[in-house]
Amino acid sequence: MLSQIPLDLSKVRKEDIDKEIMRIGMIAELDAVNLYEQLAAMAQSEGLKKTLIDIAKEEKTHIGEFEALLLINDPEQVSENTKAQEEIKKILSE
């Protein structure tokens, strides 16, 4: 699980620090989603299971918030996301 920043931000260009922080936030939230969904799958109590699934869903919202910020601040990410969507559409239509 992510308990430390996986990147030495002192080595990142000043103008890129916020983008990297957004990406680190996304990584942490993805890690949390994975954890809560795994715990929910093991939970014996239906109430606990429902709570963990709800928390995982909230973490997915946080991922979206970081992504929205990243897309505002990183035009290259927007371009690459567009390329990725086109590639997936092509793959799925084959």
- What pLDDT was estimated at residue 23? 95
Could you tell me which residues come within 8 angstroms of residue 2 by beta carbon, excluding any fewer than 6 positions away? 27, 28, 31
- What pLDDT was estimated at residue 3? 74
Burial class (CB in 10 A: 0-12, 13-18, 19+), 22: buried
| pLDDT in single tens digits along all 94 residues of the chain | 667 788 889 899 999 999 999 999 999 999 999 999 999 999 999 999 999 999 999 999 999 999 999 999 999 999 999 999 999 999 999 8
